[in-house]
Amino acid sequence: MVMDQFSENVEKVFSVFATVLMIGMALILGTNIVLRFLIHHSIHWSNEVSRYAYIYIVLLGTAVSYKTGGHAKIVFVHEAMSRKFKIIFNIIHYAVMLLLSFILIIPGIQHVINMWPVHAPVLTFFPVGIVYMSVPLSAGAILVFVILEIINIHK
């Protein structure tokens, strides 16, 4: 199915991007620590870049975690439920996730648009809207993943 392939591609892109950001963040912060101790000078933009990278790592990682089933859940409680309660639980779960995704996507996009002209304090060329874009991106991916889960229930 096309949507399943799209979902797999989104997961791969998010995973690779988060990994690259994590490696970059570790290198920047590590270099900053070494410079601070060796020459008593730090990279003035390292904290800001690391903060923004961390936001993307967490939010994109949340979407990937949802797709792979790595989010926190109580499997033994779900398995102990009767079939009727599992169906009710799953309906509530999917409804909450769909609602939350829509709540994060629509105002998130509006916030990105509003914050695009605002620039970061240290990186004056960097639009803060790029950072805020992580919210609708991750929520959009979760929305796709939830819809695919609902579609694939009967397969």
With H, G, I as helix, E, B as strand and everything else as coil, classify residue 51: helix
**DSSP one-letter code for 124:** T
Cα Rg of the chain, angstroms: 19
Residue 44 CB-half CA count within 13 A: 5
For the segment 113-152, what is each residue's pLDDT rounded down to a tens digit? 999 999 988 888 999 999 999 999 999 999 999 998 888 8
Answer yes or no: is pLDDT of 6 > 90.
no
**DSSP one-letter code for 59:** H
Alpha-carbon distance of 56 to 135, in angstroms, equals 8
**Using DSSP, how many helices (H) and how many strands (E) does the chain show?**
6, 0
Let me know: does 153 contact 12? Beta carbons within 8 Å: no
Q: What is the pTM of this model?
A: 0.84
Higher per-residue confidence, 141 vs 2: 141
**DSSP one-letter code for 82:** -
Residue among 105, 99, 94 at smallest CA distance from 138 = 105
For the segment 10-55, what is each residue's pLDDT rounded down to a tens digit? 889 999 999 999 999 999 999 999 998 999 888 889 999 999 999 9
Cα 66-68-69 angle, rounded to 5 deg: 65
To which residue do tokens 């070494």 refer?
Answer: 34
